[in-house]
Amino acid sequence: MRVAIPFTGVDASGYGYGRTRSCPTYGAGYAAYIFGTSLNDTPTTNLFTGANDGRLIGTPGAVGLVGGPMATAFSGAITGGNLLTVTGTVTGDPLAIGQTIELATGAGGSLGVISSLGTGTGGAGTYNLVGGVNTSAQSMRAFTRFFEVPGFSRDIFNIGSALSLLAIYKSPINQGLLSDDTNGGLLGMLVPGSFELQTFGRDSASTIVNVSTSSGFLNGGSTWTMGVSQFDTTTGQGFVQRSGVARAASAVAGPRTANPMGNTTRKLRTHLYTSTTPAATLAGIAIYTKKLSSAEMDDAFVYWRDMLADVGEVL
C-alpha cells in the first residue's frame, strides 16, 4: 500500500508522495511557458492548452532564458537567397553569427539566421544567412534569444477587456521582461532604472498608463522575483513578490478613457528592450485574460516557487 502525503514545495509524486500540479488557469489562462532544461524540455508548449504555439529564438539554459545581444535597428537587403547587405549604422549590439534577422516591425517572422560573416564584422557589409528570404532594402533588426507569445497584444487584451502579465525573473535595471516592442512598446512589463517592475501601456489614442513598483528588494539581477502587471480598460497596476517578503503593489495608474492598450500587429516577447547588455533571465511567464485577485497571485506564487524549488532555486 502506498499513501500520497502532500508536502508544500515538494513534488515527489512519482514515488507515491507529494503532489503534481498544473499551472493554475483561474478560468482565464491564455498562455504560460516554463524556460530551462532542468525545468521543462518543451519550452514552446503552452501549459494551459498543450499546443506548441510559442516561438523561441535561441536556447534556454539550465534554469531560465537569458536575454542575448540584439541589433535593434539597421538598413538591410537580402538577395540571392542568403546574402544580407547592410548599409549605414547598426544600432544596439553589432551583428553576429547566430542572430535571427527580421523586419523592424516584427511582421513576417524570420528573414534568416546569420551563419557566417562576409565583408561585415558587426556593422555595414555583407553577411551569409541560412533560411534567407529575399527582401528589398528596409529597416531590420536582429536577435539572439527571445520568446514570442501567440496572439497580438491588443487581441489578447480584448478577449476579456482585462489582462494580467506574470513573469518569474531575475533582472538588473533597464531590462525588458515581456512587451510588444523595444523601449517598452505599447504594452508590457519592464525593470526600469530604480524600481523592480514597470507596468506600461499605450492605447491607439496614444494615452499612456505607466506605473512602477518599488519594494526595496535588493540584488534584482541575482534573485528570483515574481512580477505581475495588470490592466483593464481604464487602469494599470504592478506587483512584485518574493519568499519571506510581503508582496508590494504600485499605485493604480488611471483612471482614463476606456480604450484597450497594446498593438494589433505586434506580439508580446521576452527581453525586447533597447539595451547593449540584455541580461534579464525568465524562468516562466503566464498571461491571463482577467485581473488576478490577491489570493490568485499568492496561489500562482506557490506554483512557481515549487517549480523552482524542484531544481534547487529559491523564489
Domain region containing 78: 70-143
159 found inside a domain: yes
The grid coordinates listed for 103 are: 523586419
34 and 124 both lie in a single domain = no
Answer with the one of 124, 143, 162 that is the final residue of a domain.
Answer: 143
Whole-number pLDDT of residue 195:
80
Is the distance from CB of 151 to CB of 289 less than 8 angstroms? no
**Full-model pTM:** 0.87
Whole-number pLDDT of residue 270:
92
151 and 248 both lie in a single domain = yes
DSSP string spanning 103-121?
ETT-TT---EEEEEESS-S
Enumerate the H helices of the chain as residue ranges: 153-160, 294-309
139 found inside a domain: yes
The grid coordinates listed for 189 are: 512589463
The grid coordinates listed for 98 are: 547566430
Strand partners for 213: 197
The grid coordinates listed for 211 are: 506605473
Along the chain (315 residues), what's the average pLDDT of each consecutive run of 10 residues? Answer: 51 51 93 95 96 93 90 94 95 90 82 96 96 94 91 91 96 90 87 87 89 82 94 94 90 88 90 74 97 96 92 93
